[in-house]
Structure 1
């Protein structure tokens, strides 16, 4: 005998689940919004609320067919499609810039928010709240701890545009060496001169992958490199913000 009451939910309970999903997803999205990431406050709310709605639909949306003969209900069928289908949102948050990749944490948070929404939709409240708490601890506290722990082990990327003159590359590399900075990789790309009458207009882009034990030493090296007459501009991801920063000729990196 089938207990049909299991397949029915009151409007109050349904409202509580959907509101709770929006709140929990909003907490995680608020941290992403505060950190200025691609998927922020509203995105996480929509993902969590949508997942909860699909879970509710999967469990209770077809209750009228439960008593029908030869009909088998599977509450996890639609939920399984959410887990596999949410990947397209995560892929949109991942950005590759050269050899560095950003957005992986945001993509993971979107995926976890979908799982939280499914948990709330299924009435698995404790797991949903606990998962939200752990995610917030990971994004807030563990992020700071990871940056502190690995601050000396991350490779730094610096792009320098210089005039293509004899000895210009050596002078730039020397400035890194004077600060004890190890050059892990170097990619050079020549740029055609704007005028064929002035060969000195030829420029070159240098992309350095560096290993340094101190950000302060790297910033001092950048200041000294910017003072070289052959250097036109510099771009780096080694500023305190962690975002790519372009520095024009004559400006101080430490200022």
Structure 2
């Protein structure tokens, strides 16, 4: 997991509202369990079977006991074989963030190197956080999803709504019905008086929502109403400007 020549940003779990990372991880290690995920007293959960996780352009070795049940349930062979998991659509940076979270309970983003410098752009950071958020929500890794969402929100506050929607569309991002925080955040952005939208923005949201939920319907309704209000205000301005 060396990242020589890379820079990293770390987000640690809040000390007050969260248990220490080690304590949080020990919750899933039940010594009385008969499953292959259990461990005996005196043994470390960091020992034993290692699983290879393949991301696009990277491979990480992770102790089997560290991988959440929501992941291993999708790969039953891991219960009895020293197998591997191939996760498509995620690159080396995404893989590092996920594996680092399993090891430490913290969120760490790797700043990509381009040529002789580092590409520490808001757009790259936003897209990476979106990918991590999508992965974490679809696999029920709630704390990681919260970290990623906070990054999405932090960066999104400095971006135009249309820019966020374009990046979501370009990355084939789906707004999951079971995790609606992002939809609610987008609705907050729509309410801002300084935000302007176009029909293409609404089209991108419709393509990003595979099925309808209450929040997604509300978002589309708000976008439609905002667009209608913008057109009305533009028409009124033209009428006033006509001599």
What's the TM-score, normalizing by structure 1?
0.24
CA radius of gyration, larger in: 1
What's the TM-score, normalizing by structure 2?
0.25
